[in-house]
Amino acid sequence: MSKRGKKAEDGTGDVDQDNGAAPDTKKAKKGKEPEAPVLYEDPPDQLTSKDGRAANMKITSWNVDGLRAWVKKKGLDWVREEAPDVLCLQETKCAEKSLPADITSMPEYPHKYWAGSDEKEGYSGVAMLCKTEPLSVTYGIDKEEHDKEGRVITAEFADFFLVTAYVPNASRGLVRLDYRKTWDEDFRAYLSELDGRKPLVLCGDLNVAHQEIDLKNAKGNRKNPGFTPEEREGFTQLLEAGFVDSFRELYPEQANAYTFWTYMMNARSKNVGWRLDYFVLSKALLPSLCDSKIRGKAMGSDHCPITLHLAI
C-alpha cells in the first residue's frame, strides 16, 4: 500500500477525494471515441483594480503535499519565476528541524515562518515566506484542540491580515466530520474577530468544493469528504459572515477550474478535479482585488498553486 493509501486508511491525514472518473473504466461503446478533456486555461493576469489602481501585492498559495518531495520536484524553480511577495504553503509534512536548506536559505524571502503538528511529525503543517517583514506573526487560532496540528499562520501587515490555513479533512468514512464542523465554527469566529480589526486575506487548502461547479463529479461525491452538505454549509456561513471567494467574484460561471486532482486514474490529464484552494477576502478588500489566478500548469504536487493580485 502506498504511503498516501496508508494515511487514508489509518485516519491520520487527508484522503484523496473521488476523482469522478469511474465511468471511464467501463467498456466504451463500439466506434465511439472518448471525449477530449475540457481543460482550464488561466487567462492573462489582470494587474489593475476596477478603480484603476495598479496591483502592488502578489500572494501565492500552494498545497505542496510534502515539502521535501516538492523541493526535489523543482517546486522552488516555479516559485522564483512567479516571484510573489508572499508565499504560503500547506501540507508541508515536515518538522522545522528537517526543512531542506534549499528553502530555508532562500534569499528572496528573508522572513520565513513555519508551523507543524505537535504530535505527529510528517503530518499537516503550513508555512509563510515573506519578502517584507510582517508587523507581527501568530500561530493557530488560540484553540488548543485545533492548534496542536499546525494548520494556521497569521501575519499582520500595515493594511491587512494574511491568514494561511490547511483546513482539516473530514476523512474517509467522514470520521472527522463532527470535528470539522467544530473547526469551521471556531475558525469563522477567529476570522471575524480579525476582520473587526482590519481587513484580511485567507488563503490555503480549505478542503471544500463549495458549489457543484467547483468539482467535476458533484453527483458522485455528495457523501464524500470535501463535498458533504455540512462542509459546504460551513463555507457558505463563512461568506455570509462578510467574506468573498475572490475567484468566484471575478469568474462566477467559470467551470472546469480546479486546483486538486487525485494521483489516481490520470485525473489531472483528464482534468477531473476539485477546487479546494482559495483566496477569501474581507468585503472591505474588494476594491483592491485585481485578479485571482489558478496556475494549473505548475507541477510538483496533487494541488496546483493559486495567486492573488491586490492593489493595496
3-state secondary structure of 290: strand
CB 277 within 8 A of CB 37: no
Q: Is 81 annotated as a binding residue?
A: no
- DSSP letter string over 229-257? HHHHHHHHHHHHTTEEEHHHHH-TT--S-
Length of the chain: 312
Catalytic residue among 40, 166, 258, 278: 166
CB 312 within 8 A of CB 301: no
Is 139 one of the annotated active-site residues of the chain? no
Pairing relation of β-strands 57-63 and 86-90? parallel
Is 146 one of the annotated active-site residues of the chain? no
Catalytic residue among 146, 210, 303, 309: 303
Is 210 one of the annotated active-site residues of the chain? no
Q: Is 205 annotated as a binding residue?
A: yes
d(C-alpha 87, C-alpha 121), whole Å: 22
d(C-alpha 12, C-alpha 238), whole Å: 26
Residue 21 grid coordinates: 472518473
Pairing relation of β-strands 277-282 and 306-310? unpaired
Catalytic residue among 205, 214, 277, 291: 205
Please give the order of strands across the beta sheet that includes 277-282: 136-139, 152-156, 161-166, 200-205, 277-282, 243-245
Q: Is 207 annotated as a binding residue?
A: yes
CB neighbour class for 198 (10 Å; exposed up to 12, middle 13-18, buried from 19): middle
d(C-alpha 60, C-alpha 109), whole Å: 13
CB 310 within 8 A of CB 290: yes
Q: Which residues are catalytic?
A: 166, 205, 303
Known binding positions for Mg(2+) = 63, 91, 205, 207, 302-303
Q: Which residues are annotated as a binding site?
A: 63, 91, 205, 207, 302-303
